[in-house]
Amino acid sequence: MTLLTLDTYQTQPLVLGKPTASRTGLQRLFAAAIVSDQFRKTLLHQPEEALTGGYLGETFSLTDQERTIIKSIRANTLTDLAQKVNRALKGV
């Protein structure tokens, strides 16, 4: 039997780049949609209003491309919206 110890694996420090304003904006947008039923419904059915109005008085820092994508996508669920936004941003 082999025992694994902390010395068994060498670990590399995790280096994450500083989030871009855009990535932070998308994260905040989806976080707001997760915690607020009303905001989620607005985002899914009236995305332009959701982006313009923001959440709790705060707007989202998004690129023009991200805003256009979010406004043009039709989704019934937040999961579906997130998947479609992700695909569009990756150019799939």
Q: Of 82, 30, 24, give the one whose Cα is nearest residue 51.
A: 30
CA atoms of 27 and 5, how far apart (whole Å): 37
pTM of the prediction? 0.73
Write out pLDDT tens, residues 13-69: 444 445 455 468 999 999 999 999 999 999 999 999 999 999 999 899 999 999 999
Taking CA 77 as the corner, what is the angle to CA 21 and CA 24, rounded to the nearest 5 degrees?
Answer: 10
CA atoms of 27 and 21, how far apart (whole Å): 10
Domain ranges of the chain: 21-90
